[in-house]
Structure 1
Amino acid sequence: MNDNELELVRGSGNIYRDFGRPNAVLEQARAIIAAKIIQLLDDRKLSTRNAEKLTGISHAEFSRIRNAKLSRFTLDRMISIIGKLDADVEVNVTFHSRQQNQNGLQRV
Structure 2
Amino acid sequence: MNVHANITIEEGSTNVYADLGYTDAGEMQRKSQLAGEIARAIKARRLTQEDAATLLGIDQSKVSRITCGQFRGVSEAKLLELVARLGHDVKIVVSPARRRAGKIELQFA
Give the shorter-chain TM-score range: 0.7 to 0.9
Aligned pairs, number:
93
- Identity among equivalent positions (%) equals 25
Q: Secondary structure at the match of 1:37?
A: helix
Counterpart amino acid of residue 79 in structure 1 = L
In the alignment, which residue of structure 1 is the partner of 2:72?
A: 71
Which residues in structure 2 correspond to 1:1-108 (within 5 Å)?
4-91=5-92, 95=103
Give the whole-Å Cα distance in 1 for the aligned partners of 2:18 and 2:70: 18
User: Kindly tell me: are residues 91 and 9 of structure 1, through their superposed partners in 2, closer, same or farther at Cα, counting changes over 3 Å?
Assistant: farther
Judge which range, 80-89 or 52-61, deviates more. Answer: 52-61
Give a deviation string over 1:27-84, Cα, whole Å, max 9, x none: 1111010000000001011111011222322222211102211111110000001111
Taking a change above 3 Å as real, the CA distance of residues 21 and 54 of structure 1, as seen in their structure-2 partners, is: same
SS in 1 for 2:14: coil
- How far 1:25 sits from its partner (Å)? 1.0
Unaligned runs of 5+ in 2: 95-101, 104-109
Q: Which moved more, 1:58-67 or 1:68-77?
A: 58-67
CA RMSD of aligned residues (A): 2.1
Matched letter for residue 17 of structure 1? A
> Unpaired segments of 5 or more residues in structure 1?
96-108
How far the C-alpha of 1:10 sits from its partner, in A, is 1.6
TM-score (norm: length of structure 2): 0.73
The structure showing larger relative contact order (alpha-carbon pairs under 8 Å, at least 6 residues apart) is 1
Cα distance, 1:60–1:4 mapped onto 2, change above 3 Å: closer
SS in 2 for 1:20: coil
Deviation by residue 1:74-99 (Cα, 9 ceiling, x = unmatched): 1000000111111112457864xxxx
